[in-house]
Amino acid sequence: MNVHVEAASLEAASHLNLSSILDSQRAAFLRDGAPSYEARIANLAKLRKAILAHRKDIEAAIHADFGNRSAYETALMEIMPIVGGIDYLRKHLRGWMRPKARHVALQFRPGTAKILTQPLGVIGIVAPWNYPASLSLIPLATALAAGNRAMIKPSEYTPRTSAFLASLVGGIFSADEVAVVTGGPEVGAAFSELAFDHLLFTGSTSIGRSVMQAASKNLVPVTLELGGKSPVIVDQGFDAAKAAKSIVFGKLSNAGQTCIAPDYALVHETDLDVFVAAFTAAARNAYPAGTSDDAYGSVISQRHYDRLVGLVADAREKGAKIIEIGAAPGATRPRTIAPTLILGATPEMKVMQEEIFGPILPVLPYRASEETIARVNAGPRPLALYVFSDKQQVIDDILARTTSGNVTVNDTLLHCAVDDLPFGGIGASGMGAYHGEEGFRAFSHSKGVFTQSKWNLTGTVRAPFGRVADLLLAALLR
């Protein structure tokens, strides 16, 4: 593939011809109709083969965009979910595509009813920078499984990955099947205003509002995958080492730049010191060389780095205790922040007001489990919630009395990796869901079809009305 030529041509197209690309895809969709099961399976197979063939290229591009990101982390948290998601779609697609019979009330029999599942047409996908491959290609695979065409706008913060995705996709599909358009915020704004049949946006809540407003101009339905402050509740007496190991994984993977990363931890006041010690030990064990460790990621940009440094400085100035773990003196790697615990965080601190999106974890004490539920419910509904407890009653109580996008019990992040679970937020953390069958349904139209029988009774309750209509109504309206 000629990455530079393909990427340059698509970038020009993104500025000048967004509408023409959409028009071309829609015309092709109307001309060719819904693709067959066999065609959809073939598209998924081509995508899977290309991803595996270019795994190292994807890992290298992402590493270059971040400044440092472990190839293992990219393989585990991007390549594997894409391949696993495609395999899941291929396994279940035939059943999802089958017409579904529906019940017909007695008065309409012997007519029949069914649901036909049809592709919507052209899906727009706005992907973020934090997982630039998986958050572009998992939605694409889902759109293709549902029989659609797609346009993808990846993030300008990951230009090398975006260029490679444009080349990768361009080597598999024609532009009227799938197109990747690159560019900055102005291209993203124009992209969001296109008259797609559905638009999926993954990113911040603030930009999500703008995307939804732009999409509303054409009444485009949207799926918004946003973020928020996802809490971790550690029940009193739970094994601190076990909880800390899982929370370190969830918080420090990709240097905390994960929409479902734990944003703050609620720990019983009697367990606070033990938890801090356990988290410190787990972080040092995971990254023995601290901020110089090859497996420890960098922050995507100077702007995001400065924001995170500012959150810590604000908390320190307002009286919080700051614990940095594994900071390497004299480290030369740019934009790298040590795992940081914040103790004594208060509501007026910025770190408790904004989604952190970095390797910084406020740890808040509580006295009674009731306080944890009240604290979660006092804020916007989070994208994810994590509960560590050995007591089923505690777990059930939290699940019943809080509302969040999804939950992982006694671990972190893994609900997102379970292919058969929908993924999505609620309220400020998002709208709609994809992954699994829910993703297929989100990118499909369920068309209800009623077929009238040659012999039927419905004509007896149409004008002019008479004795038969009286008898039928009397029987039905008892």
Give pairs for 280-287: CB < 8 Å, separation 24+. Answer: 280/323, 280/325, 280/341, 281/241, 281/244, 282/241, 282/244, 282/245, 282/247, 282/248, 283/248, 283/252, 283/325, 283/326, 283/339, 284/325, 284/326, 286/248, 286/249, 286/252, 287/252, 287/326, 287/339
C-beta neighbour count of 141 within 10 angstroms: 25
Task: Provide the phi-psi class of 156: left if phi over 0, else alpha when psi is between -120 and 50, else beta.
Answer: alpha
The yes-or-no answer on residue 225 being catalytic is yes
Residue 474 to residue 478: CA distance in whole angstroms = 6
Contact by Cβ (8 Å): 98, 63? no
Residue 327 to residue 331: CA distance in whole angstroms = 8
Residue 46 to residue 144: CA distance in whole angstroms = 11
Catalytic residue among 193, 225, 355, 438: 225
With 0-12 / 13-18 / 19 or more C-beta atoms within 10 angstroms meaning exposed / middle / buried, residue 241 is middle
Contact by Cβ (8 Å): 278, 241? yes
Residue 181 to residue 187: CA distance in whole angstroms = 8
The arrangement of strands across the sheet holding 178-180 comes to 178-180, 149-153, 122-126, 198-202, 222-225, 430-431
The yes-or-no answer on residue 355 being catalytic is no
Contact by Cβ (8 Å): 275, 267? yes
Catalytic residue among 78, 177, 193, 259: 259
Catalytic center residues? 225, 259
